[in-house]
Structure 1
Amino acid sequence: MTPTSLFSAPDSTAAFSAPDAFLAGARRVAIHQPNLFPRLTTLAKLWAADCWVVLDNVQFARRDYQHRARLAALTDPGMRQWLSLATHLPEGQPTLIGDALLADPARSQRRVGQLLQQLYGRSRHWPLFQERLGPLLSLFNTTDRLAAISEASTLILLRLLGWRGQIMSSSDLPARLGRSRRLADLAKACGARTYLCGTGGMRYLAVDAFTRQGIHVTAFRTPSEGVWASAREVSAVRALMVLGPKVLARELSAVAVAQS
């Protein structure tokens, strides 16, 4: 289900990829549900990892970010608008993320393309982003799987920022039941030495489940000033359109190294 092959890596990642010293010595794994154009805090955690496990076999949540993104205006981050994709749940509320379907793929395709251009078309970084957006818009013609679209939207941002990591799907990996045990098993299956956990996850995570697997848990934190002021609230697309990929990647690199 991973559409990795649709998106090529940047022409040169050497200028703004995570430092080799950061990646060496410990395989860092982040586990996160596929989000539609994720918030900057989420993107930062994924970018800091060298393996992202897409958590696609847990229950879909309508109030979460799997099918929607809060976009902030280019000139005013306080002006915000939801980009939402109408979603059909074949099994009702128990439907897993990987089984959720787009209710109207053609309409969703138009909505994504039109709203992003409306909000960010005046950015000098828009042409590059628009070019990378093309394969995502084409994906709407070949699949009605929401998770594939959301994952691809995240991958666009990661690749633009020079991320060279690996993607795996939780549905393809063995894991026991139980929230913390499941995550620990998934991390172990990816050869993790370090698990990057967001601040929300740290409230419920049973760290000992990871310790027994020989995995260190790092509480992933981001700054709260500058471009990070609204990082927990709005999609990372605005930061990309304001700063450009090289500057934003340096911001992410600094945050990634600070987790050591």
Structure 2
Amino acid sequence: MCAVHQPNLFPRLTTLAKLFAADTWIVLDDVQFTRRDYQHRTRLAALEDPDQTRWLSIPTHLPQGRQTAVLDALIADPASARRRAEAMIRQEYRTSPHWPSMQTALEPVWAAFDTGRTAAVAETSTHILLDLLGWPGLILTAGGLSARTERSERLADLTAAAGAGTYLCGTGGMTYLDPAPFTARGIAVAPFLPPAAGIWASARRVTALWALAHLGPAGLAARLRALAGAPDSLEAAA
């Protein structure tokens, strides 16, 4: 099973859960960068109240203007952006009993600011969460795989190039996906439908760091394994 997704900064729980349910994550970093999207920002939720939120953003410079690809976007001031990101996350989650393990896991993210590339920070922020939760999957980069350019054809080609027989598609993707290129390649399309109750009530809006701070790595991993094992059972991980 394969998921294709752009690098997201400290991804929302729904995004992280979809990647966790897949065997392979193909990082879609060669598409056009979109400002005011999750490629360079995330919504932090207060530890005690997930409805109390604020944005954490990485100021980003686009060398080719609106045509700049995700992988070519540059952090405007890496040192300042790193300090601000560290301070905001520490302020929100340092009172969690799981903060020591989170703090250690976040170190590679802060180091990624030294690359000067927004995508490197975003991808690392997702990678460390998957590692912390014990995800055994494989990460590939879209730019290194052969695929056509039309959207649905490209997703089908990337899935095939990864050797996967199923494409795991989020609810947003299902609204535009053309199943024909997948059918032609003998690839199944599986919709990913997370629950809407419990920790999932805010999962489409706020970073997965909030759930991690509440449940810890073992607790959150158990919820995601339950969902991955039975993605159509809405009570499994609620």
Sort the TM-score into its range (normalised by shorter chain).
over 0.9
Taking structure 2 as the reference length, the TM-score comes to 0.96
Identify the match of residue 234 of structure 1 among 206, 218, 232. Answer: 206
Gaps of 5+ in 2: 233-238
Deviation at 1:259, TM superposition (A): 2.9
Identify the match of residue 177 of structure 1 among 129, 137, 149. Answer: 149
| Contact preservation (8 Å) 1:57, 1:170 | yes
- Deviations along 1:192-216, one digit per CA (max 9) or x if unpaired, are 1111000000000011111111111
SS at 2:66's partner residue?
coil
SS at 2:168's partner residue?
strand
Identify the match of residue 168 of structure 2 among 171, 191, 196. Answer: 196
Deviation at 1:63, TM superposition (A): 2.4
Identify the match of residue 115 of structure 1 among 88, 93, 98. Answer: 88
Identify the match of residue 96 of structure 1 among 54, 61, 69. Answer: 69
Question: Which residue is 2:121 aligned to?
Answer: 149
Q: Which has the higher helix share?
A: 2
State the alpha-carbon separation in 1 of the partners of residues 36 and 150 from structure 2: 22
Question: Which residue is 1:24 aligned to?
Answer: none
CA RMSD of aligned residues (A): 0.9
Q: Which segments of structure 1 move beyond 4 Å, counting only runs of 4 or more?
A: none
- Deviations along 1:123-162, one digit per CA (max 9) or x if unpaired, are 0101001011112212222x01111110000011111111
Matched, 1:60 2:33: yes
Aligned residue identity for 2:58: L
Deviation at 1:189, TM superposition (A): 0.4
Identify the match of residue 137 of structure 2 among 154, 165, 186. Answer: 165
Deviation at 1:57, TM superposition (A): 0.8
Question: Which residue is 1:39 aligned to?
Answer: 12
Percent identical residues: 58
| Contact preservation (8 Å) 2:29, 2:141 | yes
Deviation at 1:48, TM superposition (A): 0.5
Identify the match of residue 106 of structure 2 among 127, 133, 136. Answer: 133
State the alpha-carbon separation in 1 of the partners of residues 112 and 121 from structure 2: 7
Question: Which residue is 1:30 aligned to?
Answer: 3
Taking structure 1 as the reference length, the TM-score comes to 0.88
| Contact preservation (8 Å) 2:13, 2:207 | yes
Question: Which residue is 1:19 aligned to?
Answer: none
SS at 1:79's partner residue?
strand
State the alpha-carbon separation in 2 of the partners of residues 178 and 259 from structure 1: 28
